[in-house]
Amino acid sequence: NPHYLPETAVKVTLVNFMITPAGLQDQLLGMVVAQERPELEEEKNALILQSANNKRQLKEIEDKILEVLSSSEGNILEDESAIRVLSSSKVLANEIAEKQQIADETEKKIDNARMGYTPIAVHSSVLFFTIAQMANIDPMYQYSLPWFSNLFLVSIDTSEKSDELTKRLDNLRAHFTYSLYRNVCRSLFEKD
């Protein structure tokens, strides 16, 4: 954080936009799954959209029911239009609930498949925060997240492929660690 004079410090608010380890792990997990298993990532994104749409529809149904209840006069059981709206809303709400349950089960399966790639995301996140600490040695040793992410994506593409997940993760870990090491070494000052 920059150091300001006390007069200035009371007039400004410092906001730290540094990514958290958990946030970076999730971001790297999304990247590796999108490259390795694009169908999973696309299906997960579609499920997120479907879930949001289902919640929106449920909210509309609730609003419609509240509108019917508030506008009805006298005995609601004698109001034919209110009964039709309530019964159609019930049917639609049940359909949406079934869709949401199926979507939740599918999302759990996708998340289980994605979790297989968690070790490389955790390892890479640790590496990022390790090289981020190098700025304490010299302010010139600052590495951006986009640079790191690009290096990670290049390693996913260029590391040795394997059908076995553990072997693939080992290949990816070794390739990315070595690639990061070479790129960081290239930027080091001779005195360090």
Res 1: pLDDT: 54
Res 39: pLDDT: 87
Res 16: pLDDT: 65
Mean pLDDT per 10-residue section of the chain, whose length is 192 residues: 74 75 91 88 84 87 82 74 81 86 85 90 96 89 92 95 94 97 88 63
Res 8: pLDDT: 80
Res 2: pLDDT: 65
Res 192: pLDDT: 57
pTM: predicted TM-score of the whole model, two decimal places: 0.68
Give one DSSP letter per residue of the chain, joined into a string: -----HHHHTT------PPPHHHHHHHHHHHHHHHH-HHHHHHHHHHHHHHHHHHHHHHHHHHHHHHHHHH--S-GGG-HHHHHHHHHHHHHHHHHHHHHHHHHHHHHHHHHHHHTTHHHHHHHHHHHHHHHGGGGT-TT----HHHHHHHHHHHHHHSPP-SSHHHHHHHHHHHHHHHHHHHHHHHS-TT-
